[in-house]
């Protein structure tokens, strides 16, 4: 009886761990999708030379500064390559 109880407890702990890992993975995917949209909007603002929108986006989401877009460029790299002077 003790072995069965121990096994059931172990199984319950394992299921709880797996469930929390799945939840964390879903949260990461959701955050990545959100960041992808925000990053796309930031790159659009850079392309349009809309410094106010760029400033607002980076103020609200400073982590975007280190994210890379589809071409492997950070927002700063994209700004430089587009000739932004502000």
Average pLDDT over residues 63-86: 87
Average pLDDT over residues 4-18: 83
Does position 85 have pLDDT exceeding 80, yes or no? no
- For the question of whether the overall pTM of this predicted structure is more than 0.75, the answer is no
Q: How confident is the model at residue 83 (pLDDT cuts 50, 70, 90)?
A: confident
Show the tokens assigned to 30: 């959701």
What share of residues in the chain are helix, strand, coil (percent, to 5)? 80, 0, 20
Does position 68 have pLDDT exceeding 70, yes or no? yes
Average pLDDT over residues 36-63: 92
> Using the 8-state DSSP alphabet, how is residue 72 labeled?
S
């Amino acid at each position: 009886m003790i072995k069965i109880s121990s096994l059931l407890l172990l199984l319950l702990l394992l299921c709880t761990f797996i469930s929390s890992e799945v939840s964390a993975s879903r949260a990461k995917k959701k955050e990545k999708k959100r960041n992808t949209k925000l990053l796309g909007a930031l790159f659009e603002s850079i392309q349009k030379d809309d410094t106010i929108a760029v400033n607002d986006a980076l103020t609200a989401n400073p982590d975007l500064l280190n994210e890379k877009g589809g071409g492997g460029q950070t927002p700063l790299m994209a700004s430089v390559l587009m000739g932004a002077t502000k």
